[in-house]
A and B are shown apart, each in its own frame.
Chain A
Amino acid sequence: MSNTILKVSNISKQYRLGLVGTGTLSHDLNRWWYAIRGKDDPFLKVGGVNDRSQSAKGDYVWALKDINFEVEKGEVLGIIGKNGAGKSTLLKLLSRVTSPSTGEIKTKGKIASLLEVGTGFHPELTGLENIYLNGAILGMTKSEIKSKEQDIIEFSGCKMYIDTPVKRYSSGMRVRLAFAVAAFLEPDILVIDEVLAVGDAEFQKKAIGKMQDISKGGGRTVLFVSHNMVAVQNLCSRCIVLENGRIVKNCGTQEAISAYLSIGAITSDFSRTDDIADKNVYIDDVSLIKDGVKSHNVIKSGDHFDLLVQIKSKMALQKISVEVGIDGANGERLVYLSNQLVESEINLTEGNNKVSVKIPDFPFLPGDYSVTINLKENNGAKLDIIKNEFRFRVEGGDFYKTGKLNTNSRGKYLVAHEIFKLQ
């Protein structure tokens, strides 16, 4: 007996592009004419790929195309992808808000969804009344809600306002209340879309903890959609990555996040997309150098990190400042390097200049990183900046020269250290 609780097979969803207006009736009549003759919907044969930035080639588009996956009981599955990749459409199909164009979804458990904030909250009703209303909308019975009433109020942290109409609530309080109701919901499969976007740090932490409890303790299955890679990493055991309405990856969270971040990103060589024609000074090339040769943007933890920045200048410039920022996979700034800090003087000559940024024993864990480089004149005037346009990947390496590797879940940085017993 397999442990599969949800099975999605060949799901596709077609949408009409443009206005629903002229032609609607004629298309409807056309569909009906095919339907009474027992034929397939003619419009399901057309439809373009869901690529937001391309110009449309027809009237129809596949928001989702041939989606297949299974979810095991108790699993927390992350669904990640860029805007418009089809994540929300998929959740809408799963939560029965709309029906698929083709294919079917089979489930062994009840699905309840928590899509966005405070679904069905009535602004005129008080917090408590809304707990009941929202709970009922999500499929709880009155007695179920009553038994959890105190827990919900407690978890939301809105006890003082519980008899105040929800219209007086701050947006954060609404999310708290909405999440609290859903957290005590007991569906077999809980669908969550971007709810954590609003609440403050303390509440986000609380919510993630609660979701982990739900999936681990309660044996419930969670489908989690988010752009917050930290939350995805903390919560999910497996992820599917959507791109242009198709599944491009169905694998472990770490690998999936890398795949997600590499969608549309410059992974190989550095190339500028912006206009540099009228710049006096600009960054011409960035590359990683390993043992004197250009590496393919992959280094290991503990390697000597040599970033070679080639700057083209139309004039000689004295004492410029070179600032380098390295960002982690989730966009958080990890380090800031500057020639001013280490008191190194850089003078540009006319033509090509090479500047090397060196970090001995690269202290970061495996993952994807991006580089921001900012050039400024002596007086602080901006010369050129590249924002996250150079990316590189770090693989596990022998930082401690002991042959022992630190795995990614333990900490963020590698620091040279000694641990010994004092005499």
Chain B
Amino acid sequence: MGLFSKALVLNTVDDKWLYTISSKKKLIDFNLKEIWRYRDLLILFVKRDVVTLYKQTILGPLWYLIQPLFTALVFTIIFNKVANIQTEGIPPFLFNLAGVSIWNYFNSCLTATSDTFKTNAAIFGKVYFPRIIVPLSIIISNLVKFGIQILIFIAFYLYYLYEGANIQIDGSVVLFPVLVILMGCLGLGLGMIISSLVTKYRDLKFLVTFGVQLLMYVSAVMYPLSLVNEKLPKYAWLVEYNPLAYIIETARIMLLGEGSVTTFGIVYTIVFVLFTLFLGIIIFNRTEKSFIDTV
């Protein structure tokens, strides 16, 4: 007993360690203080991602605009002119541009974060910094890209308004940033889950590449939510329980003043996003400690 208490005293004297590296894993190990200390790294990563993407290209950041514009144009021709999908009186091009821009933000967040561990294996294998900095920087640099795309959307919006189209901005548009954050968080959460699993099981990589494509079709990107309920009531749940569809539909209400969402849908979406984000952080945390052994 005497020996035991002595050891205990020694332990407390020696207990001035800054931190301990051990094999034990905590469920949540989310060190906000540390992330704050690395904020400059976050900024530099964002800068790197934005600046280097189009280095040695002629059009440079214009590529940010060309992608959504052409996608929206093709969608308009295929879905609205050929397949004759009705967009509730809103100019189809503007309708598609809104959907595509927001979808693109989610899409690029998800695909880029889901590759976090694999693409950064070299640097993660050598230096320690809070790994979550990388997915966070992806979300933010994509936000910059999204901001540019929103500008072009505003330009077309004003053009159509001038032409006298039946569009009106909704007062709830002040909540638009919240919507974007939700979208980013969803991409972040899902991306982190996938990136953690993909280090060991490469199968997921294939699932992501084509899964995201399929996901777009059930996310009400190029058609209004009401249209599915009307034409395919049997499979409407696929879209209805898809939080992405709600986010995109809500965005269209805010920006174009047209669409249909329920309170349940909004609450469901928020809960879903928060849950995914939380799960993503837990899984990411568990993986980041030893992924380098399996990647």
**Are A125 and B17 within 8 A (Cβ)?**
no
The answer for the CA separation of A140 and B200 in the assembled complex, in Å, is 32
- Residue pairs across A and B with CB atoms within 8 Å: the count is 110
- Knowing A106-B17, A107-B17, A124-B52, say if A100 contacts B41 (CB, 8 Å): no
B21 CB-CB contact with A under 8 Å? yes
A105 at the interface (CB under 8 A from B): yes
Q: Which one of A20, A116, A120 contacts B200 once the chains associate, using CB atoms below 8 Å?
A: A20
Residues of B contacting A122 in the complex (Cβ-Cβ under 8 angstroms): 48, 52
Contact indicator B17/A92 (Cβ below 8 Å): no
Q: Given A98-B289, A120-B123, does the pair A137, B41 have CB atoms closer than 8 Å?
A: yes
User: Of A95, A103, A141, which is within 8 A of B128 by CB?
Assistant: A95
Residue of A nearest to B120 (CB): A120
Q: Which residues of A contact B122 (CB under 8 A)?
A: 119
CB distance from B203 to the nearest CB of A (A): 11
Q: How large is the interface on A (under 10, 10 to 19, 20 to 34, 35 or more residues)?
A: 35 or more
Q: How far is the CA of A122 from the CA of B119 in the complex (A)?
A: 13
Could you give 7 example pairs across A and B, Cβ below 8 Å? A24-B201, A99-B22, A99-B290, A100-B21, A103-B22, A107-B17, A124-B51
Among A98, A111, A112, contact of B293 (Cβ-Cβ < 8 Å)? A98
Q: A108-B17, A108-B18 are in contact. Are A115 and B23 (CB under 8 A)?
A: no
Chain A residues within an 8 Å CB radius of B22: 99-100, 103-105
Q: In the complex, which residue of chain A has the Cβ closest to the Cβ of B200?
A: A24
A160 within 8 A of B: no
Write out the residue numbers on chain A whose beta carbons fall within 8 Å of the beta carbon of B38: 136, 139
Q: Taking CB as reference atom, which chain A residue is nearest B19?
A: A107
Contacts of B55 in A (CB 8 A): 124
Contacts of A159 in B (CB 8 A): none
Which A residues have a C-beta under 8 Å from some C-beta of B?
7, 15-16, 20, 24-25, 28, 92-113, 115-116, 119-120, 122, 124-125, 129, 132-133, 136-142
Decide: B292 and A92 in contact? CB cutoff 8 A.
Answer: yes
Instruction: For residue A293, give the distance in angstroms from its CB to the closest CB of chain B.
Output: 54
Inter-chain CA distance A98–B289, complex, in Å, is: 5
Answer yes or no: B294 CB below 8 A from chain A CBs: yes
Cα distance A141–B56 in the bound complex, in angstroms: 29
Residue B59 at the chain A interface, CB threshold 8 Å: no
Say whether, besides A98-B293, A99-B21, A115 and B200 are in contact (CB < 8 Å): no
B125 on interface, CB distance cutoff 8 Å: yes
Q: What count of chain B residues pass the 8 Å CB interface test?
A: 37
- Of the listed residues A98, A102, A107, A109, the one surrounded by the most CB atoms of chain B closer than 10 A to its CB is A98
When the two chains form their complex, are residues B40 and A142 in contact, meaning their CB atoms are under 8 A apart?
yes
A314 and B161 alpha carbons, distance in the complex (Å): 105
Which chain B residues border A129 with CB–CB below 8 Å? 48
* A96, B56: Cα distance in complex, Å: 36
Chain A residues with Cβ below 8 Å from B41 are 136-137
Residues A136 and B44 in contact, CB atoms below 8 Å apart: yes
Q: Which of B21, B40, B125, B200 contacts A136 (CB 8 A)?
A: B40
Between B37, B43, B122, B123, the greatest number of chain A beta carbons within 10 A of the residue's beta carbon is seen for B123
Q: Which residues of A contact B56 (CB under 8 A)?
A: 124
Q: Does B21 lie within 8 Å of A96, measured CB to CB?
A: yes
- Decide yes or no: A97 and B292 within 8 Å by CB, A104-B21, A106-B20, A138-B127 being known contacts: yes
Query: Would you call A98 and B292 a contact (CB within 8 A)?
Result: yes
A62 to B174, CA, bound (A): 58
- A139 and B44 in contact, given A99-B290, A107-B19, A125-B51 (Cβ under 8 angstroms): no
For residue A50, give the distance in angstroms from its CB to the closest CB of chain B: 14
Q: With A and B bound together, what is the CA distance between A151 and B200 in angstroms?
A: 43
A100: nearest chain-B partner, CB-CB: B23
Given contacts A99-B290, A122-B48, A136-B38, contact A115 B16 (CB under 8 A): no
